[in-house]
Amino acid sequence: MTRTAEDRAIVVLGAGLAGLGFAREIPTARIFEAKPHPGGHAYSHETAGVAFDEGAHISHTQDAEFRALINNAAGRVHDGQARSVRNYWQGHWTGYPIQNNLRDLPADLRVRALTDLVLAATQPAQPSNYREWCLANYGSFLTDEFYEVFTTKYWRRDATDLATDWLSGRLIPSDLENIIRGAIGDDVADQSKFSSFQYPESGGFFGFFEQLYTDLDLSLGRAATEIDLNRSRLSFASGPDEHFEILASSIPLPALIDAIKDVPQSVKEAAKKLRHTKLRCVNLIVAGAELTDSPWCYIYDHEIDAARVSFPGTLAPASIPAGTTAIQAEVFRDALEPWGDRDVLAERTVSQMANLFGFDPAHDLRAVDVVDCSHAYVVSDHNRASAAAHILDWLETNNVYSMGLYGRWKYLWSDGAYRSGYETARNLKAAHGIG
């Protein structure tokens, strides 16, 4: 006999986008979230009335169903263009991506970059790591001066330490004709994965999702401390234990494995191999409108802490107080790296942003806030795929359904994270005969 979801004790750990997708397919599922708010990495924090995201977030989904869902939830949506994204390198502002905008470099460097690109295009290549992939696609000059520098700032490791399985949909392979056009003029074909995007007119990126959590069975501030699969019991840092028949999770795999009792040693060792970065967002509001027309920019200088800088006012102009500019500087560390003094980094970042964008901190700074994110991105090193697969195989054998970016330990866009939860719920319903 088919049982309804109401008949089953279905529990979800984590109220990020994967948890949201799951619960919207099975609305009777009980969701437990460690943080005091839902949304996961898609949540937006407020500073002096301005919504700042946990790093630069936009929607460029091609999933029509997901797009309609979040646009309807957000209400009013701003349509933006990605063509004005910029790079900063050693005193030069260039177009993005750099290989298609070599005209913005001095003539001697333009020649050097083109020469290396042509040489790379004539060499057979079977890259085994990210650095080799960059060398094959961009040549040695751009690899050393741009991509390697950014890798050490953003991923906090050498490019040789990264695999290549994460590149699809994120980096643009070289197109020699397009590169040459970009070196001598402006007639460059659009190679970007997206040329336009959408963003809520209010509420930050979380404005796409906030209303979708309404009426879900959601408990906040409930961090799971122990999971007993044999007894089907969950213990929490606060509140009573909970029983489950079916357990789904979008919390980070290492945290999940650490909480489960009686995990095989091989699975514990695999969890120790998984790496991620953490993020410190320095959020500023400064006097002066239109300091830039870029929605975000990438910083290729070691001397500047931030790897990426975004401007909420270009994403949602009506959400920023008149006569001010909102700036977010993103500083990354490996999860195991110490941050150092919080105030010192914030003060240094304010000074660096002032130098880049031309404001006076003593007179123009209206507000500054620092937001730490314990999980920024999973690191796709050479251990990730095999370690994650071993953990996920064991979890599935024990009827634990792991989903989402951190639950699968694989980079996903926002629509992919939501879809991961939704599809997990649908597969679960089919497997357990839930109507």
- Alpha carbon distances (Å) from 20 to 75, 255, 420: 19, 19, 10
For residue 2, pLDDT over 60 is answered with: no
Q: Give the mean model confidence (pLDDT) for residues 153-159.
A: 97
Position 188 confidence tier, pLDDT thresholds 50, 70, 90? low
Residue 159 has a CB neighbour count (10 Å cut-off) of 21
For residue 187, pLDDT over 90 is answered with: no
- The sheet with strand 246-249 has its strands ordered as 217-220, 30-33, 10-13, 246-249, 400-402
Closest residue by Cα to residue 276 from 189, 335, 196, 219: 335
Strand 365-373 relative to strand 400-402, pairing: unpaired
| pLDDT per position as a tens digit, 218-230 | 999 999 999 999 9
What is the SS3 assignment for 415? helix
Closest residue by Cα to residue 85 from 155, 167, 172, 157: 172
The least confident of 29-38, 64-73, 123-132, 304-313 is 123-132
| pLDDT per position as a tens digit, 113-123 | 999 999 998 88
Q: What is the pLDDT of residue 1?
A: 37
Position 174 confidence tier, pLDDT thresholds 50, 70, 90? confident
Q: What is the pLDDT of residue 290?
A: 76
Domain 5-39+209-273+382-431: CATH superfamily is FAD/NAD(P)-binding domain (3.50.50.60)
In the structure encoding, which two tokens stand for residue 217, read together?
Answer: 């069975």
For residue 4, pLDDT over 80 is answered with: no
In the structure encoding, which two tokens stand for residue 165, read together?
Answer: 């399985």
Cα distance between the two ends of the chain: 10
As a whole number, the mean pLDDT across the chain is 93
CATH 1.10.3110 domain locations along the chain: 98-191
- SS in 3 state form for 176-243? HHHHHHHHHCCCCCCCCCCCEEEEECCCCHHHHCHHHHCCCEEEECCCEEEEECCCCEEEECCCCCEE
| pLDDT per position as a tens digit, 232-287 | 999 999 999 999 999 999 999 999 999 999 999 999 999 999 999 999 999 999 99
Position 173 confidence tier, pLDDT thresholds 50, 70, 90? confident
| pLDDT per position as a tens digit, 313-370 | 999 988 899 999 999 999 999 999 999 999 999 999 999 999 999 999 999 999 999 9
CATH 3.50.50.60 domain locations along the chain: 5-39+209-273+382-431
Cis amide prior to 97 (ω within 30 degrees): yes
Position 185 confidence tier, pLDDT thresholds 50, 70, 90? confident
**Those residues with Cβ within 8 angstroms of residue 339's Cβ, 6 or more apart along the chain or in another chain:** 280, 333, 345, 372
The C-alpha atoms of residue 236 and residue 345 are separated, in whole angstroms, by: 34
Cα-Cα-Cα-Cα torsion 395, 249, 338, 355, nearest 10 degrees, comes to 130
Work out the percent of the chain whose per-residue pLDDT is above 70.
Answer: 95
Position 189 confidence tier, pLDDT thresholds 50, 70, 90? low
Based on the number of CB atoms within 10 Å of its own CB, is 333 exposed (0-12), middle (13-18) or buried (19 or more)?
middle
Position 3 confidence tier, pLDDT thresholds 50, 70, 90? very low
Q: Give the mean model confidence (pLDDT) for residues 184-190.
A: 65
Position 170 confidence tier, pLDDT thresholds 50, 70, 90? confident
The C-alpha atoms of residue 352 and residue 329 are separated, in whole angstroms, by: 10
For residue 214, pLDDT over 60 is answered with: yes
Q: What is the pLDDT of residue 60?
A: 92
Q: What is the pLDDT of residue 180?
A: 85
Q: What is the pLDDT of residue 284?
A: 97
Q: Are the C-beta atoms of residues 3 and 239 closer than 8 Å to each other? A: no
The C-alpha atoms of residue 217 and residue 20 are separated, in whole angstroms, by: 11
Q: Are the C-beta atoms of residues 301 and 148 closer than 8 Å to each other? A: no
**Those residues with Cβ within 8 angstroms of residue 244's Cβ, 6 or more apart along the chain or in another chain:** 9, 10, 11, 232, 233, 234
For residue 384, pLDDT over 70 is answered with: yes
Amino acid identity at 41:
H
CATH architecture of 98-191: Orthogonal Bundle (1.10)
The C-alpha atoms of residue 110 and residue 182 are separated, in whole angstroms, by: 10
Q: What is the pLDDT of residue 193?
A: 54
Work out the percent of the chain whose per-residue pLDDT is above 90.
Answer: 84
For residue 393, pLDDT over 70 is answered with: yes
For residue 195, pLDDT over 80 is answered with: no
Q: Give the mean model confidence (pLDDT) for residues 61-90.
A: 92
Strand 196-200 relative to strand 308-310, pairing: unpaired
